[in-house]
Every structure is written in C-alpha cells, then in structure tokens.
C-alpha cells in the first residue's frame, strides 16, 4: 500500500464515521421532535443543537468545523424545514425521505473541503487564521446553505 492509498483509506474511514454519527443524530432528533407538541420548543431544541455544535468546534480549523457540522448541525438543519415551514412541503416527509435529504447534503459537504483547497479559498487569511469570528461566519453560511438545500431537496422529493 502506498502513502496515497493509505491517506485515501483514512479519508474514506473518517467520512464513513461522520456519516454514521450524522445518521444517529438525525434518527434521534427525528424520533424526539414529534413528541414535542409546541413548534417553538421544537425549533429551540434544533437551534440549541446547532449552537452547541458551534461551541464545540469554534476554536478549531475550518476542516474540523465542517466535519462537526456534518455530524451534528446538518442533521439538525435538515429537520428545520419540517418544523418551521411544513405548510410549504404539503406533508411531513417520512424518515427515508429525510434520510435521502441528509445523504444528498452530506455528499456535498463531504466534497466541500476539497473544493476549498483546490480553489485556494481556504488560504484566504480570514479563513486561514481560524478565529471564532471567521469560524462563526463560515458556520452561519454552512447552516444557511444547508437549510436552503434541504428545502430544495424536500420539494424535489415531494414531486
């Protein structure tokens, strides 16, 4: 095995582990949220999960922030349209549809670090220094992008 093959296996294993953690988070949140009858409390639970994820990863590098977002924030953000805008979705999707939405966004976010490295966006000093402010702005963009993608995927799945 060459160094390149070993590195590729490590990346694949880490991504698989992140996928399993994200699926577990998604399943737990999908089971717990319908038991909360108040929409505002459901949104507060999701927001608390997203903010806790940022608090854990805000001092790290952008790659760790994206990895943490894939594990915890993306599953929570995928559930936001189910809580906040269910009337636009016509009906609440079943878990397989929610899982497909998470899988689509996971694949996009799995590729994102490579895009940042290839385009050299990750070398912009604002992102490279990895301060809590720069990480916060990147994290907000990740969550907003994930929310938009989730709404779009749910609308595509619905049709």
For residue 147, count other CB atoms closer than 10 A to its CB. Answer: 17
pLDDT digits (tens, 9 = 90+) for 85-127: 766 555 667 889 899 999 999 998 888 777 777 777 767 776 6
Q: For the chain, state the CA radius of gyration.
A: 16
Give this prediction's pTM: 0.83
pLDDT digits (tens, 9 = 90+) for 43-77: 888 999 899 988 888 887 777 888 888 888 999 99
């Amino acid at each position: 095995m060459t160094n390149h093959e070993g590195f590729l296996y490590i990346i694949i294993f880490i991504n698989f582990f992140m996928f399993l953690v994200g699926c577990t988070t998604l399943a737990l949140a999908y089971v717990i949220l319908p038991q909360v009858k108040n929409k505002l409390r459901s949104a507060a639970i999701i927001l608390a999960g997203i903010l806790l994820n940022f608090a854990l990863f805000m001092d790290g590098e952008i790659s760790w922030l994206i990895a943490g977002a894939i594990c915890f924030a993306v599953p929570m953000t995928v559930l936001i349209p189910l809580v906040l805008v269910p009337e636009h979705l016509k009906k609440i999707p079943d878990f397989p549809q929610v899982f497909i939405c998470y899988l689509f966004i996971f694949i996009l976010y799995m590729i994102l670090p490579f895009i940042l490295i290839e385009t050299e966006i990750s070398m912009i000093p604002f992102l490279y220094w990895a301060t809590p402010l720069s990480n916060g702005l990147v994290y907000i963009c990740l969550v907003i992008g994930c929310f938009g993608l989730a709404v779009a995927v749910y609308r595509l799945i619905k049709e």
